[in-house]
Chain A
Amino acid sequence: MNLEYRDSLPSSNTDLNYQKTDEEIFELFQKGNVDALGVIYDRYGLLVYRLIYRMLNNSQEAEDLTQEIFISLQKKPNYNPQRSSFYTYLMMITRSRTIDRLRSKRYHSSFLLKKDKIKDLIDRQNHVNPLEMATIDERANQVRNALNNLSFNQRRVLELSYYEGLSQSEIAERLNLPLGTVKTHSRRGLLKLKKNLQDLVD
């Protein structure tokens, strides 16, 4: 997968060649070039934040965890380029750590979550580079279309599994569906999604 984002580069950073792949940039970062982390953040910081925000429903926690994840890349990077793209690795550790956080904060009431969300919406200001937004928006449209092509249940099962970290049996219970049906929906949904997003995956 190649998800570089070459048209929305901050002009201030002259030390790095923005034509480099994610993996090359990450290697530079591992060798001590901290500015390389800035490039990684420019490419995927927004997606990391959004995923965490979607899962935790709290902007402050999402920012804190985003920071933790990017700093953790420096502390104990165990990325293996042979196994996955850097983007896949980054989003996998993001989701994994957010699920851990989610499980530890299940006690939060829905009222508090809604209140946080409303406050966040009021507090938020748009500071993102328009070019960065345009690049992400282009891919976002592709992914949204691909998800819209799934059946209602396929999408719902996938999203419950992905964003909320629920097990198949928990999803079955919540949707009042047989466990086998939930598994079939999730597996076929993922395969269909892959087919519809093939150009991004290859």
Chain B
Amino acid sequence: MTNNHDSQKLDEILAGYVLGNLDEVELAWLNQELATNPQLKEKIKQLEATLTLIPYSLPDDIPNAYLRSKILAKARPKDYKFNRFNRLIWIVSAATMFSTLWLGINNYSLRRQIAIKNNEVQQHQELIALLRKPNNRLVSFQGLDNLPQASGSLFIIPEEKKAILALQNLEPLSGKQVYRLWAISQGKKTGCANFTPDEKGIVYLQLSNDALDDANSLLVTVEPKADTLQPQGNPILTGSYSL
């Protein structure tokens, strides 16, 4: 390729460039020309524009009418669609979801409370039934001077040869000390049980001791060790048969 190309030849090279059919020699020559003559780029631009006009000659085929709206719908940002169209639906859905969740939790809570109440009622009914039995006896305990806030009860069921002791507000003990329950009958004291309270000062104990049936009164003392034969420590509670 030389510099002697006339205008026609140059135009053909430019057209070949736009059509993509230049050989290597032609392309190398054109690149040199473009470097020295920027106006050629404008000619290339016009030839490219010419080529893209060709589709105007195509037959009158047309796309479906919905294509435009389909394209625009897809082009819209999701948050835009959300703001304009879905926000209300989202809010309603969220409110419904939270309401359902709240109602569910509330329902569960109510059912649980009912179950607890039913259980308590059942326990009370059982207790009333026990108290109504003629041979059953109830002993009330009252704190003495050493521990006036202590109190409790002993419920004796002779038919089943058992008794249930429930005490509260007892103080914790140190070392080997224990609380001991005594049955007093005609001045004689018989040890019935050793026990220690829990961290809240409560004792709940099931007993089985025949001496309780014959007792006139009951006593709770603090003993230096378990299973003493006679009371050695301070009396804490005293009980008398109330039923």
Interface residues of A (CB under 8 A from B): 1, 32, 34-35, 37-38, 41-42, 45-47, 49-51, 53-54, 59, 62-63, 66-67, 70-71, 74, 83-85, 87-88, 91-92, 95, 120, 124-128, 133, 136-137, 139-140, 142-144, 147, 158-159, 161-162, 167-168, 183-184, 186-188, 190-191, 193-194, 197, 200-202
Contact = CB atoms under 8 A, between A and B. Distances in A.
Consensus secondary structure, chain A interface: helix
B53 A143 contact: yes
B176 interface: no
Nearest to B55: A51
Contact of B75 (A37, A95, A128): A37
A125 B62 CA distance: 8
A143 B54 CA distance: 7
A136 B55 CA distance: 11
11 contacts: A34-B77, A41-B71, A46-B63, A47-B56, A53-B58, A54-B58, A88-B48, A127-B65, A143-B54, A162-B54, A188-B12
Interface residues of B, number: 38
B86 interface: no
B55 A124 contact: no
Interface string B62-73: 111101101110
Given A47-B56, A162-B54, 20 more contacts: A35-B72, A38-B68, A41-B71, A47-B58, A62-B63, A63-B67, A71-B74, A74-B75, A91-B55, A95-B52, A124-B62, A140-B58, A143-B54, A143-B56, A183-B21, A190-B19, A193-B50, A193-B54, A201-B49, A201-B50
A181 to B, nearest CB: 12
Given A136-B56, A197-B50, A124 B75 contact: no
B52 A143 contact: no
Contacts, number: 156
A45 B19 contact: no
Interface centre among A133, A190, A202 (most CB of B within 10 A): A190
A59 B67 contact: no
Contact of B15 (A83, A142, A187): A187
A47 B16 contact: no
Contacts of B55: 47, 50-51, 54, 91
A148 to B, nearest CB: 9
B27 to A, nearest CB: 13
Contact of A59 (B46, B49, B60, B61): B61
B135 to A, nearest CB: 91
Given A47-B55, A88-B49, A147-B57, A71 B71 contact: yes
Contacts of A45: 63, 67-68, 71
Given A91-B52, A187-B12, A49 B76 contact: no
Contact of A67 (B19, B49, B59, B71): B71
B183 to A, nearest CB: 93
B72 A37 contact: yes
B124 interface: no
A167 B20 CA distance: 9
